[in-house]
């Protein structure tokens, strides 16, 4: 197969990871709504039901709290359930089992059990889905002890990360993104896994660091390209892992450029950007040549109308404006 043929959609990369893990390990099962012949709301699980059947692909009723709890129970008994929550907003209905069971059981039962489950869910706005189908809720998750949280931004990342998550003995939330599903990228053939706790320099630069994850990484990369002609050399650090944060990579980039803009699709207040910013202030204040800037969604519900959505969500222009500000400081 040529490299060109291995340029696949993000959604296909997720599908491949699931397919390969289902084939590799019979303790892996999938659970979620409409993930059977329908293939999931975003077509991510297409073909898996036909291939693995009802014994491996558990199509659940619309009962988020309980089927996440069912996954916890099955995981405690040694299965490796991979649960799909159709839209990240619906995670609210399952938060109890994530917060009170999945994240706590290994610790509170003193290591007698592990909870090797994965919860995958698409966050973020796709344009016009409106208030209950558009949020990036990474901010809710990173405050839950005992849960690993990753938000890969490319097809290659999501495949290796999801496979690693499935093999990890701990609960892992994999935040996918509706805007990333139709994006393409090169994905190596065959089996590989990526570390769950490492950031990646998506593009090296020397003037200013843009720190981002999920859907905002491609936007940051586009801004980097757009500003190249005017002589601004941006570094883009893709976090990938939100819990734990790869502090070493963050600090290394900050020490290199001395100027930091953190970009995320979640609300401004109390989010990942706020946490990264706090870490930098604690550990690298001496390296900063300008105050840290956060570019994030407004602390608002996301309106349906496309004409309105762009005022709430972070846009490329907002990043460009932040670059200007930080340069002029």
Partner 1 sequence: MNDLISNSDLLRMYRQMVSIRAFEESLSDMFGKGLLGGTSHFCIGQESCAVGVISAARDDDWLISNHRGHGHLLARGLDIARVMGELMGKLSGYCGGRGGSQHLSAIDHCFLGTNGITGGGIPIATGAALALKYRKSSSIAIVFFGDGASNQGTFHESLNMASLWKLPVLYVCENNLYGMSNPVSKSCASGNVAVRASAYAMRGETHDGFDVEHVHRVAGEALARIRAGEGPELLELMTYRQCGHSKNDARVYRTREEEARMAERDCLLLTANSLRRRGLSQEDIDAAAEAARQDVAAAAEAAMAAPTGGRRHALDGLFA
* C-beta contacts of 274-277 below 8 A and 24+ residues apart: 275/142, 275/245, 276/211, 276/239, 276/245, 276/250
Q: Are strands 57-59 and 28-32 parallel, antiparallel or unpaired?
A: parallel
Q: If binding is defined by CB under 8 A, does position 164 make contact with partner 1?
A: no
Which residues are catalytically annotated?
64, 133
Lookup: tokens for 183: 């994006």
Q: Helix, strand, coil proportions of the chain in percent (round to 5)?
A: 40, 20, 40
Identify residues 12-51 at the interface with partner 1 (CB under 8 A). Answer: 29
Over the range 244-259, which residues count as b (16 or more CB within 10 Å of their CB) and which as e? ebbeebbeebbebbbb
Size of the residue set binding partner 1 (CB under 8 A) = 43
Q: If binding is defined by CB under 8 A, does position 215 make contact with partner 1?
A: no
Neighbours of 190 (CB within 10 A): 6
Binding segment toward partner 1, per CB under 8 A, in 92-100, 174-182, 207-215, 275-283: 92-100
Query: What is the closest distance, in whole angstroms, from the C-beta atom of residue 144 to partner 1 in the complex?
Result: 11
Query: What is the closest distance, in whole angstroms, from the C-beta atom of residue 312 to partner 1 in the complex?
Result: 31
Instruction: From residue 159, give the alpha-carbon distance in Å to each of 188, 192, 193.
Output: 10, 8, 8
Work out which of 15, 60, 121, 215 binds partner 1, going by CB under 8 A. Answer: 60
Helices (runs of H) and strands (runs of E) counted in the chain: 12, 14
Here's the x/- map for partner 1, 165-204, by CB under 8 A: it reads as: ----xx----------------------------------
Query: What is the closest distance, in whole angstroms, from the C-beta atom of residue 132 to partner 1 in the complex?
Result: 18
Query: What is the closest distance, in whole angstroms, from the C-beta atom of residue 118 to partner 1 in the complex?
Result: 14
Work out which of 145, 190, 229, 231 binds partner 1, going by CB under 8 A. Answer: 145
Q: Side by side, which strands form the sheet with 118-123?
A: 57-59, 28-32, 80-84, 118-123, 172-177, 148-150, 241-243
Q: If binding is defined by CB under 8 A, does position 104 make contact with partner 1?
A: yes
Can you tell me the distance from the alpha carbon of 179 to that of 278, in angstroms, rounded to the nearest whole number?
Answer: 28
Work out which of 53, 78, 127, 301 binds partner 1, going by CB under 8 A. Answer: 78
Query: What is the closest distance, in whole angstroms, from the C-beta atom of residue 12 to partner 1 in the complex?
Result: 28
Q: If binding is defined by CB under 8 A, does position 79 make contact with partner 1?
A: yes
Q: If binding is defined by CB under 8 A, does position 106 make contact with partner 1?
A: yes
Q: Are 211 and 250 in contact (CB under 8 A)?
A: yes
Residues engaged in binding partner 1 (CB under 8 A)? 29, 55, 58, 60-61, 63, 65-79, 81, 96-97, 100-101, 104-114, 116, 145-146, 148, 169-170
């Amino acid at each position: 197969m040529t490299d060109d043929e291995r340029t696949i959609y993000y959604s296909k990369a997720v599908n491949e990871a699931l397919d390969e893990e289902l084939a590799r390990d019979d303790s892996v099962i999938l659970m979620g709504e409409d993930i059977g012949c329908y293939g999931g709301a975003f077509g991510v699980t297409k073909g898996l039901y036909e291939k693995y059947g009802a014994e491996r692909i558990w199509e659940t009723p619309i009962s988020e709290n309980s089927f996440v709890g069912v996954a916890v129970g099955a995981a405690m008994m040694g299965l490796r359930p991979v649960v799909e929550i159709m839209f990240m907003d619906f995670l609210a209905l399952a938060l109890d089992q994530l917060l009170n069971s999945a994240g706590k059981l290994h610790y509170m039962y003193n290591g007698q059990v592990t909870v090797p489950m994965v919860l995958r869910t698409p966050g973020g706005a796709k344009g016009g889905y409106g208030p209950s189908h558009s949020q990036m809720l990474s901010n809710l998750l990173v405050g839950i002890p005992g849960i690993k949280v990753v938000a890969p931004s490319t097809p290659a990342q999501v495949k290796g990360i999801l496979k690693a998550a499935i093999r990890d003995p701990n609960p892992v939330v994999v935040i996918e993104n509706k805007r990333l599903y139709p994006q393409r990228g090169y994905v190596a053939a065959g089996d590989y896994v990526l570390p769950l706790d490492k950031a990646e320099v998506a593009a090296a630069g020397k003037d200013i660091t843009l720190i981002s994850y999920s859907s905002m990484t491609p936007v940051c990369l586009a801004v980097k390209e757009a500003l190249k002609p005017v002589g601004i050399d941006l570094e883009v650090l893709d976090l990938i892992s939100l819990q734990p944060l790869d502090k070493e990579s963050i600090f290394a980039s900050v020490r290199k450029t001395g100027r930091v803009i953190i970009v995320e699709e979640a609300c401004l207040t109390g989010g990942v950007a706020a946490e990264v910013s706090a870490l930098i202030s604690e550990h690298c204040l001496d390296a900063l040549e300008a105050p840290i800037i956060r570019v994030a969604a407004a602390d608002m519900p996301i309106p349906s109308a496309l004409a309105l959505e762009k005022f709430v969500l972070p846009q490329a222009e907002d990043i460009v404006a932040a670059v200007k500000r930080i340069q002029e400081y």
